[in-house]
Structures are given as structure tokens and as C-alpha cells.
Amino acid sequence: MKKIISVFLSLVMIINVFALFSINDISAEAADYAAELRSKGFPESYIDSLVALHKKYPNWIFEPLNTNLDFATAVKGERKNHSQQLIQKSSGTSSSMYCNCSSCKKNGNYVIQEASNWVSASQKAVEYYMDPRNFLNEEGIFQFESTRYNGTQTQEGVEAILDGTWMHDSLISYYNTAGSYVTMKSKITYSDSIMKAANDSGMSAYYLASKIRQENGGSKATATAVKGTASPFQGIYNYYNIGAYSGAYDGLAWAAGYLRTNKTATLYSDYNSSTGKVSGTKTTLKSGQYMTWMANCGKYYRVRLYAETSSGYIAGRVGYILKSDLRTTYTGTSGSGWGRPWYTPHLSIYYGAKYIAQNYKTQFTGYLQKFNVNPESDTLYSHEYMANVAAAASESKTTYNAYKSAGILSITKTFSIPVFKNMPNDDTSEDTGSGSGSGSTSTATNTLPCVTGLKATGSDTKQIDLTWNKVSGASGYYVDIMKNGKYVRYGSTTSNKISVKGLNSFQEYTFRVKAYKNVSGTTYYGKYWVGVTYGTRAAKVSNFRSTGSNNSVIYLSWSKNSRATGYKVFKYDPSTKKDVLYKDIKGANNTTLSVTGLKNNTKYQFKIYAYYKGSVGTYNGYCSSALSASTKLNMVTMNSVTSPSKKRITVKWNKAWFSCTGYEVMWSTTSNFSSNFLSVYVKGQNTLSTTLNTAQSGRNYYVRTRVYTEKNGKKTYGSWSAVKTIKVK
């Protein structure tokens, strides 16, 4: 019995020792990370929350955004116009969150600023939503995530955000300006549209999806800005509610492009599409009459008149008006047009993303789009995307739920968190980075030599690895990174190497390092090693694909990397079993390539990577996987196309030099064969002519032919011959 007890006690001691080591390791790691956060510039009141998040999500990166603003001053600046800081009045909200100043509360009632229940937010409410520390948790942190493009985001993640709405896994369908419910001809889904908008605008796909859901999401498309039936803007869409200054109808007026007469003009009731002429009832319009676009009709627009009154927007007559009689400054794709009018959901999603990217460059988080406190902004406390003080926090929760549902919460993300001066309940003194370890600003004696041998040993898409020679007697090293022309502290390490993380892909960075040592409570520093510059790599080029081929050409395409200097495309050489450079393509926007001079009916393999030329070197992105694509069979040539008799066409062609099943001959009344076409299969390699029966006489027909082979019921085609035209007898 004693032996059993002795063994048991020994096991308990061993378990306790391991537990102690484990706890000590975790505590040491937390202490190191807390020190890293302090060295970056986070106040003490941020530390515990960020350490807890880091413990659960070690790949998350937290960066301080130093606003250089006093917190009380920032709150006062945001509240300069009370009507731009709104909160929804509901039974679940304390009345202390509503502003009760004489302008916002009259005769015992809160003044309704928007819709039926939005009132001005109190100072307490603005302070709460402006204080980042209230949202340093899993659900709140995403309002600080960058809205800039992230190539790791997936369409599945977007669909997770849209889950529960009518947009989830759905083709884009909508009411057009004529009132008909249609599906986009290109057959794209809402997530397709969002992914393309993100890629082409440089915006985060997840941010765009969250913004759409926050502004207009629901199980059905019933919100004013997306239902497509809101008079007088039928068939107009505004998925982000851009320009909705006092309601969704203002946003639709914005999305319609503010068409109006620039002089006295005439509205006609009828239009003849065959002659291009107008007729019918005439209505004289004064200069400045507003209208919304309905259709292009030659040199005229079909429009619906409208007027804005104190009770809302009122629809007027529908008719036709000369384009030249209208102001079109805010329509089209150039200048201030932004692709307006947005008469499909895709136009709204696509060009709306470009508008946000261009107009909110310095407001690159959801928080900054609500509270514009970035010191780089020229429009401090204004030019804000939404009036709702809780919008950023609400959208953050939507993003969190989507990430969680998609199983991608733990992947690397960077959060830019505002830091203010004199924040409530934060008495942290500023760490000057010199002097004693207690925070003294006295000048330390430089008793350590300068670090030598600083160099970059490699990089990844978001990381650069640095190393340097050890300094004898040093307790550790401080590493600084150049940002906006100034060095800022990145972190510290006791090792002579560090991986600098959270960087942009395809971008050069400059670093410097100095040694320090602690002696009797005082910290002494060496001099900085001269800065070293190095660049990050880029991820694989996305969407690398073949878009088509003929008998000697394969067409390649891929998605743009906006940071790239160019792309290198390689073609596999089976004789050497190596990938050989085929083309060095200069320019980030050049994303297509025709690979010519190929053999017919042959499979080829290609690879691609983007590259970036910096000031000190060229940095290659990761190479794509091999893409296989094949050329088609050699095309045949038509020798003659004649019309021997009424409603008949005789076609003759040359014989294919390789074995084939036969030939397909197609004829049509349209030159591109998009409609009104028929085809016939002529079997036999040696059968080189056929006679076609047409439906009409005296009309031009277009003819083409191609070779085909058939195996196990599946046809394989060569490329089409050139088209020939014949007027049928």
C-alpha cells in the first residue's frame, strides 16, 4: 500500500512540475508579447485584451494607428455636427445614448434625423463607440481590419458572409428599368461580382460583402436601395448606399447619376427605333429638370422625370429626350461618373467598390470610415461613410460570424487600431525608447558597439527575415522599420535574428537595428547599424487559366497583381524536361497572352509568376502550378460557296490531311453566328462538299466549316474556317 501511495505522489509531483513549466512558458510568452505591444506604442489599457486575442489567434497582427489626437478633442470634433452621429432609438437602448441638447430634443421629444427612429447620439454614445478598447474582443476587432485587397480571401468566405440573405449562392437577378424581372446574361453570382469588384478595386472582398449585408442585407431583396422597384428610381441599385445622406432614396438619386436638363428642352412621348425619330406628345422642360435614365435610344435617352419635395421624391412623365440637352457629368465610366447609372446590381457592386477605394484611401478600416481620425486624412472628422455610430461595430460582428462559419478565423490578419492621447482611465507614460528602463528620459551612455552585418536572409509574402552579428554583452536588440519617411519601433528580440511580419506583398522596406543592455535598472544602447532595404514576395498569380485556343494559338489570362512590375510566363519543354521562359510581360495591367506558333491538337503546360522591381533588387512572386491547355485540330479551308438555285447553297472545302470523322458546316443570317444559325454534320474524311437549304431567298448568308472527330459518342472539334458570305438566289 505504501509503495502504491509513493508511486502516486511521485506522479503528482511530476505532473505538477510539467504544469509549472507549462504555466511559466505561457506566462513568459505572454510577457514577451506584451512587451512587444508596448514597444509598438500600444497604451497599457490595450495590452491585456490584445495579449488574450494573441493567445487564441497567434497569427493575428496588431498595429497601432497613432492619431496624435487628444481623445476628448477627437470626440468633440466628431460631434461638431450632431446630425452626422446617429443612433437607432429602440426599447433596448438606454436614453443616455441619445443627445438631449436643445437642437436634438424639443418639447420633450427626440428629433428624428433619419427614417422613423434615428436620433442624434449623445456624447456618451460617441465616446463608447470611438474608444477602441471597448471592442478588443473576437467580435469587435474586425472593425480595425484593413479594407484593402487580400489575395487570401476566397469566394467561399464571401458566400459565408452572404449566408442568410437572398444573395447567397444565387445568380444576379433583378428588375430592369422597364419593370421586367431578369437574370444577368453573363450568368454571374453575387459572390462572383463581389470577388471581381475586390480584385479590380483593391478592396477587401470580405469587407465589401459585409458592407452590403450591413447596408441592405435580408432574406429577401426588400430594402429600398436594392429592390429595384422604388419609384421614381425603378431599375436603379445602390448596394453600398453611397450618397444616401438622409435616406436610401438620396442614394438612388446618386446612383442614377443626377441627370438634368442644361437648358430648356423637349420631352417626347414616342420613339421609333427603326427610324431613330421621336414623335407624339411634346412636353417643354425647364432648365434644371431632374430625371432618371431608363434606356439608350440612338441620340435620345428614355427617361422618367422626378422632383424632390419636402415629402420625398415624386415621379413624373416617361418619355424621350436628346442626350445633348442633359447634364451627364455624373454618368459614364470616366471622371466623376463611376459607371452610373447603376441599372444592374453588378454595376452597383463593381463601381461602388471602386468609388469607395478611391474616395476612402486613408480610411482603410471600418472604424476609420465611421470615425475619420487618421492623421493622414485631409478631411478629419468628416467625409465619413455612415452616420450610424454603431455601424462599424455591427459590421465587425457580421465579418466575425462569416469568418467563423467559413472556418478561417485563425488565418493571418492585420488590425490597425487607433491610439489617442489622454484616453480615459489610461495613465501610461510614453516610452521614449532611450534612458532608463523605468521610463526616465535621461540620456543613456552608449557603452555598446554598433551592430554590424545587418542583412535580409529572405522573405515571404508578408514577412522579411533579418539577421546581424551578435554584440558581446548585449541584453537584446531593438528593430525599427521605416514608415512614411520615419523610423518607428517594430519590436525587440534577445536573438540576433528576427522575422518582421505583417508587411505588404511586393513592397520594399528599410530596417535598422541597435543593441541594448540592462545594468542595475538602467538601459544602455549602442548605435544603429545603417539601414538595410529588402522586399517581400507575392503569392501565386490568381486565376491563371486558358481562355481559348485555335489550331496554333493558346490564349492565357490571369488576375492582376496591382503591385507587380510585370509577369513571367514559362512553357514546359518536354525535350529538356524544364520550364523555359516564354514571355516577360511588362506592366501590372497586362494580364493576357497569346502563345503562338504551336502544333495543332497538342497539349502544352504553362506556369507564371509576378515580379516586382524595387530600388535595390527584383523580387519574384511564388510560381503557379502547371496549367495544361491544348490547341485544336488544324482547320479546313473552304474552296467555294455558291448558290446554284433558289434557297440553296453549295459549299466545298479542302480535305483534312489527318484522320477525322467528318466536317461540320454552319450557316446563319448573322455574321457572328449569334442567332438564326443551323449546322449539318458531313461524315467521311473524303466527303468534301454539301448543299444547304435556306429559309429565305435574296438574302446574305454566312458560312463556315470545321473538322471533327468522334469517339465513344464525344465529338472533338478543330477551329472554324474563315467565314464566307453568299447571297442566296
pLDDT given for residue 12 in this prediction? 43
What pLDDT digit, counting tens, does each position of 293-323 carry? 999 999 999 999 999 888 889 999 999 999 9
Q: State phi, psi for 555 to the nearest 5 degrees.
A: -100, 125
- pLDDT tens-digit readout, 239-298: 999 988 778 999 999 999 999 999 999 999 999 999 999 999 999 999 999 999 999 999
Please indicate whether residue 260 or residue 386 has the higher confidence score (pLDDT).
260
Give the strand pairing for 486-493 and 578-586: unpaired
pLDDT 10s digits, 439-491:
332 333 445 777 878 889 999 999 999 999 888 888 999 999 988 878 889 99
Q: What is the pLDDT of residue 530?
A: 62
- pLDDT tier at 437, thresholds 50, 70, 90: very low
The CA distance from 665 to 648, in Å, is: 14
* 478-528 pLDDT tens trace: 999 988 878 889 999 999 999 999 999 999 999 999 888 888 777 888 877
Measured from the Cβ of residue 312, the count of other Cβ atoms closer than 10 Å reads 11
Residue from 719, 86, 28, 79 nearest 387 by CA: 86
Mean pLDDT of 88-112: 87
The cell 543592455 sits on which residue?
Answer: 517
- DSSP letters for 487-522: EEEEEEESSSEEEE-SPPSS-EEEEEEEEEEEETTE
Q: Count of CB atoms within 10 A of residue 687's CB?
A: 12
Q: Which is it for the CA torsion 82, 87, 90, 91, positive or negative?
A: negative
Grid cell 466549316 in the structure block, residue: 705
Report the pLDDT value the prediction gives residue 442, as an integer from 0 to 100: 31
- Interatomic CA distance for residues 226 and 214, integer angstroms: 13
- Supply the DSSP string of 594-651, one letter for each residue: EE-SPPTT-EEEEEEEEEEE-SS-EEEPPPPPPEEEEPPBPPP-EEEEE--STTEEEE
pLDDT digit string, tens, across residues 144-154: 998 888 777 88
The β-bridge partners of 181 are: 175
d(CA 547, CA 593): 10
Q: Three-state DSSP class for 563?
A: coil
* pLDDT of res. 23: 40
Name the residue with cell 511586393: 506
pLDDT tens digits, 201-218: 988 898 899 889 878 988
| Cβ-contact 303, 272 below 8 angstroms | no
Residue 18 pLDDT > 70: no
Distance CA 261, CA 280 (A): 20
State how far the Cα of 229 lies from the Cα of 64, in Å rounded to an integer: 45
Q: What is the pLDDT of residue 539?
A: 92
28 has pLDDT over 60: no
Q: How far apart are CA 209 and CA 398, in angstroms?
A: 10
Closest by CA to 298, choosing from 318, 271, 276, 320, is 276
For residue 2, the tally of other CB atoms under 10 A from its CB is 6
Dist CA 366 CA 216 (whole Å): 16
Of the two residues 52 and 616, the one the predictor is more confident about is 52
